[in-house]
Amino acid sequence: MERNLEPVATELLPYIKQYALHIPEIVGMIVAHLTSTEILFCRGVSKDWSRIFSPFLKLHAIYWDHGVLYKARFEERLETLGPYVQSFKEVYPARDDLDKIKRTCPNLRRIGFFLRDKSLPDTQAMVKFFQAMKRLERVDVFSHNDLLMTSCLVSLASCQVSLDSESTLPTVASGQTISAQHLPCDPLRVLEVGIAARSMASPTIEWDLLEAVLTRHQMIQDLTIREAHLREASDFTNSGGISWARSASIIFGQQAQQKWGVMSSELKEGNEGANRMEYLNSILGIAAPESTVFNYLETLVFDNVKISEELFVSVVSRCPSLKTLNVKLTGVEMPMHAWSSCLPCCPQLANIIVNNEYGGVCVDIPDVWTLAPSLRTLHVTRSRGPEVYFSDVESHPGLENTVLSQTPHPGYALVSLELCCGISITDTRVRSVMSHCRFLERLVLELLYFTEWMQGAEQSTPFPEWSCRRSLKSLELQTIYRGNDQQFDERTHLFINRLKDLEVLEKLILPGKLLSDLSESGVELYGAFRDLLARLDIWNDQYFAQAQRQHVKLDCDTNQEATDLQHQQLSQELGYQHAKQCHVWTRDGSGPVNFIPQMPSVKNVTLTSPSDTRFALEMRHLHILMEALPGVRTIWTSKNLYGMDCIPRFNYFYNRFQELYGLTGVELILGSP
């Protein structure tokens, strides 16, 4: 006998509503859909709600220091919300502000210092602040001023050192060294120094001070240096013309200057750099930098950094756990042999990103593959500077007897590859990528498919099948256009035709002009398809021209049924219904050959437009895509493809596209994913 539970449920409903928020699983599901502001509102409903929702509140704020009144209101809010603050930005390390944060924000995990004033921060206050913040996981230090940057780094390196009350000179507590003082549970994991935006003035960062920070906080996993000059210990004058001895006296006090003078005259005469490093070791209690190995450092980023080859090799060579190396140098050139000096010391290196926008980093792709066999991501961008080399993979040193089926080939483990360095369509590196990168999932190639008129005989080597045909899911083709003395390289058709090998490709990114260049190249094989596109253009132009002429008359007719009938008659007269039914590309494979091969797995297409190339999208380019990609669901188009007045022109294209392909469910979208 079945029991009717409806009365019981009705009776229990008020209790369920009352105590539902006492069930952690229900609260977790609710909070997952709330923003920090909404959680704040929930806290204000009642004391019970405040107790329930407060543990989920995580605030991220900019330290408000613009005017006495606003700062007072901000600090008043900190008294109640401070325990929920997770991160602060734009903090100037004044003593009062640091004391306020230290007292009200015990759970702070990230702080960003912006040293914008000329006055020197309070070193003792900063040291005490770092000692008190037991959960601080990330520290960002941004400043244009060398002295302010040095002061902050010294404070961070001294955060476990007791300070003498009579002097700003840090001394080692009980004569212990950092190896004895360092706590294995040191929470600091991320350090970023430099400046946050591009500027004419970049700070000079002392490597020995930065190394002292890394030695003190050995658990740091991520180090980023932005827009700065990283100099070695042998340099003694910063960009502002301030000698290091004077900087030390300002930061550490007069006692430090006297000690530095004694060490410079007595120790290692003629080697001021070594003296200075010993001086730092003695006052900070740190082991000699030459013996320092950064065992936990996994990510190293040089973003627009000026650094010498020797220092670069020295830093990278001491990171045995390094997994990601991001290099973007400015004003310097890194020779190719630097890689062979440091990469063998990083056996776990999986990601290398090289950007040559402002500097020159020479890269031989197969050489990097060989030196870093566990490499999974390689991104190389060349805008200026030296060439990106791609020596013959088969004849590369140490690979003479390599057999792909037995020993992994260099590049075999790559999952993501970007070669934005202007590769000629006939270059061997294109064929090497197609042949050897078997497990690629994402590929970006910047191609040159125009042949200079002075170039010699054509290369007849065919393009191989894609070895990553069952793994590649995203393919982006970029283009570079050079001088006027070039002609379209017909071998581009052979490369494009090989895209049919890619069985699981889902995302395809193409320059819009590439479709135009392919369709205008004049290859006889595609003559019938060009004629078909021309007829489609004529049909569409006739229909829309006459429809526009009839527009006023149709709109003036108040009888909607008669208006629809006139539309239908007009379409039939122009043969438009035939175009709508037959040119959604449902024909068999015996028809005219398209410039783009059949790729049924592609779901998302993006048409891009280089900023330095003038090109206007036409309907025929969309016809090319719709015929070749029967499984496409979304077509993204760049704004530059529609000219200066992009919105009206896109609306015109959108209406025409919907008339032809609206029944297929394909979306035409302005912008990029």
Higher pLDDT, 605 or 571: 605
Average pLDDT on 321-348 reads 90
Residues 97, 50 share a domain: no
Render pLDDT for 438-496 as a digit per residue (tens, 0 to 9): 899 999 999 888 876 545 444 567 899 999 999 999 999 998 887 665 788 888 999 99
Residues 229, 361 share a domain: no
Query: Residue 228 in contact with residue 202, Cβ under 8 Å?
Result: yes
- Identify which of 87-91, 140-144, 494-498 has the greatest average pLDDT: 494-498
> How many angstroms separate the CA atoms of 140 and 148, rounded?
13
Residue 364 has pLDDT above 50, yes or no: yes
**Kind of pairing between the strands at 474-479 and 486-488:** unpaired
Residue 460, both tokens? 């007849």
> How many angstroms separate the CA atoms of 101 and 328, rounded?
35
Average pLDDT on 256-267 reads 49
Question: In the chain, what's the furthest Cα-to-Cα distance?
Answer: 105
Query: Residue 373 in contact with residue 413, Cβ under 8 Å?
Result: yes
Q: Does residue 328 fall inside a structural domain?
A: no
**What's the whole-number average pLDDT of the chain?**
76
Residues 645, 592 share a domain: yes
> How many angstroms separate the CA atoms of 212 and 153, rounded?
8
Average pLDDT on 106-134 reads 84
Chain-centre distance for alpha carbon 638: 20
What band does 124 get if pLDDT is binned at 50, 70 and 90? Answer: confident
Residue 25, both tokens? 């699983």
Residues 70, 43 share a domain: no
Residue 135 has pLDDT above 80, yes or no: yes
Residues 107, 195 share a domain: yes
Residues 401, 435 share a domain: yes
What contacts 346, CB < 8 A, 6 or more positions away? 316, 319, 320, 322, 325, 372
> How many angstroms separate the CA atoms of 222 and 301, rounded?
8
Query: Residue 517 in contact with residue 621, Cβ under 8 Å?
Result: no
Closest CA to 603 of 570, 572, 575, 631: 631
Average pLDDT on 123-128 reads 84
State the total domains in the chain. Answer: 4
CA distances from 328 to 310, 359, 368, 604 (A): 16, 7, 17, 31
Out of 172-181, 204-213, 542-551, which region has the weakest mean confidence (pLDDT)? 172-181
Neighbours of 296 (CB within 10 A): 17
Closest CA to 380 of 300, 446, 468, 440: 446
Residues 151, 23 share a domain: no
CA angle 447, 452, 458 (to 5 degrees): 85
pLDDT of residue 34: 76
What single string gives the DSSP state of each residue in 449-506? -EEETT--SPP-PPPPPPTTTTT--EEEEEE----SSEEE-THHHHHHHGGGG-SS--
Q: What percent of the chain has pLDDT over 90?
A: 25
Render pLDDT for 412-437 as a digit per residue (tens, 0 to 9): 789 999 988 888 888 777 888 898 88
Q: What φ, ψ does residue 442 adopt, rounded to 5°?
A: -140, 130
Residue 319, both tokens? 């990171």
Q: At what angle do helices 146-157 and 207-216 cross, to 10 degrees?
A: 20
* Structural domain for 393, as ranges: 352-519
Q: Does residue 307 fall inside a structural domain?
A: no
Q: If 0-12 CB within 10 Å is exposed, 13-18 middle and 19+ buried, where does residue 346 land? A: buried
Residue 329 has pLDDT above 80, yes or no: yes
pLDDT of residue 68: 77
**What DSSP element (H or E) covers 443?**
strand 442-448
Residue 92 has pLDDT above 60, yes or no: yes
Average pLDDT on 558-580 reads 47
CA trace torsion 57, 63, 68, 70 (10° rounding)? -40
Residue 266 has pLDDT above 60, yes or no: no
Residues 271, 176 share a domain: yes
Higher pLDDT, 87 or 404: 87
3-class secondary-structure state, position 210:
helix
Residues 501, 367 share a domain: yes
Which residue, 501, 519, 537, sits at the end of a domain?
519
> How many angstroms separate the CA atoms of 157 and 200, rounded?
28
Query: Residue 228 in contact with residue 194, Cβ under 8 Å?
Result: yes
Residues 227, 93 share a domain: yes
> How many angstroms separate the CA atoms of 550 and 546, rounded?
6
Residue 207, both tokens? 């490597």
What band does 327 get if pLDDT is binned at 50, 70 and 90? Answer: very high
Which residue, 468, 495, 519, sits at the end of a domain?
519
What single string gives the DSSP state of each residue in 556-613? H---HHHHHHHHHHHHHHTTHHHHHHHSSS---TTSPPPSSPP-TT--EEEEE--TT-
Residue 129 has pLDDT above 50, yes or no: yes
Closest CA to 448 of 508, 497, 489: 489
Closest CA to 39 of 14, 19, 59, 10: 59
Query: Residue 111 in contact with residue 87, Cβ under 8 Å?
Result: yes
3-class secondary-structure state, position 326:
strand
Render pLDDT for 611-664 as a digit per residue (tens, 0 to 9): 666 788 999 999 999 999 989 999 999 998 988 888 999 998 898 898 888 888
Residue 641, both tokens? 């493809």
Q: Does residue 379 fall inside a structural domain?
A: yes
Q: Does residue 330 fall inside a structural domain?
A: no
pLDDT of residue 462: 84
pLDDT of residue 180: 35
pLDDT of residue 109: 92
- How does 14-33 read in b/e, with b if 16+ C-beta sit within 10 Å? eeeeeeebeeeeebeebbee
Residues β-bridged to residue 424: 448
Residue 23 has pLDDT above 80, yes or no: no
Average pLDDT on 574-594 reads 55
pLDDT of residue 389: 66
What band does 171 get if pLDDT is binned at 50, 70 and 90? Answer: very low
Which residue, 519, 544, 576, sits at the end of a domain?
519
Residues 531, 473 share a domain: no
> How many angstroms separate the CA atoms of 192 and 117, rounded?
20
Neighbours of 432 (CB within 10 A): 22
Closest CA to 299 of 342, 349, 340: 349
Residue 456, both tokens? 């010699």
pLDDT of residue 670: 93
What band does 539 get if pLDDT is binned at 50, 70 and 90? Answer: low
Residues 245, 228 share a domain: yes
pLDDT of residue 574: 39
What band does 191 get if pLDDT is binned at 50, 70 and 90? Answer: very high
pLDDT of residue 222: 96
Residue 511 has pLDDT above 90, yes or no: yes
